Amino acid sequence: MEHLLETIGRNMFAIFGVMALGSAAFMVASRSAVHSVLGFLFAMLCIAGCFLSLEAEFLGMAQILVYAGGIVVLFLFVVMLVEMSKKKEKEVFQAQSRYAVVAVLFGAAAFMGVFRKVIFGTASVEALVLRPELAQGLNVAKQNAQAVSRGLFADYLLPFEILSVILLVALVGAVVLAKTERV
> Footprint of other proteins on this chain (CB under 8 A)?
1-2, 5-6, 9, 32, 34-35, 38, 41, 45, 57-58, 61-62, 64-65, 68-70, 73, 76-77, 80-81, 142-145
Of 24 and 144, CB closest to other proteins: 144
Give the single-character DSSP code of 64: I
Cα–Cα distance between 102 and 172 in angstroms, integer? 34
Nearest to 84 by CA among 35, 140, 118: 35
Cα–Cα distance between 6 and 3 in angstroms, integer? 5
Of 90 and 116, CB closest to other proteins: 90
Of 1 and 165, CB closest to other proteins: 1
Q: Helices 12-29 and 2-10, interaxial angle, to 10°?
A: 60
**Least CB distance from residue 54 to other proteins, whole Å?**
14
**Least CB distance from residue 68 to other proteins, whole Å?**
5
Cα–Cα distance between 170 and 95 in angstroms, integer? 29
Of 24 and 64, CB closest to other proteins: 64
Of 1 and 102, CB closest to other proteins: 1
**Least CB distance from residue 182 to other proteins, whole Å?**
17
**Least CB distance from residue 1 to other proteins, whole Å?**
5
Report H helices in 30-156: 33-53, 57-62, 72-81, 87-94, 97-120, 144-150
Cα–Cα distance between 149 and 58 in angstroms, integer? 10
Cα–Cα distance between 101 and 81 in angstroms, integer? 27
**Least CB distance from residue 167 to other proteins, whole Å?**
15
